[in-house]
Amino acid sequence: MSDRTVQTGTKAAEDASGYWTANIRIIVISLIIWALVSFGFGILLRPMLSGISVGGTDLGFWFAQQGSILVFLALIFFYAWRMNKLDREYGVEED
């Protein structure tokens, strides 16, 4: 009986560890995309993107003013969708 309890506890710990590892991975990927778009494209790579025109302005300026906001909103919806899927996989979804 105690072996079964230990195995169940170990399984729960492995599931929790896997859940948080996947959660942290999603967060890190989202932050990298957000930083690349807002800081990279809007500030660091702006001179390289200045020759590409979007909506009457250069692409670097567009990313700094509009693109980073749109990508941030897309990342919010992606994170919510992916976390709901991850919650279902690990059986911790909300009712």
State residue 50's pLDDT score. Answer: 84
| For residue 7, pLDDT beyond 70 | no
State residue 72's pLDDT score. Answer: 93
- Residue 21 corresponds to which amino acid? T
Q: What is the DSSP letter of 57?
A: E
Where exactly are the structural domains of the chain?
2-90
CB 23 within 8 A of CB 83: yes
Q: How far is CA 5 from CA 13, 30, 88, in A?
A: 12, 37, 24
CB 80 within 8 A of CB 27: no
Band of pLDDT at residue 8, cut at 50, 70 and 90: low
* pLDDT, tens only, 57-81: 888 888 888 888 999 999 999 999 9
* pLDDT, tens only, 10-62: 777 788 899 999 999 999 999 999 999 888 888 888 888 888 888 888 888 88
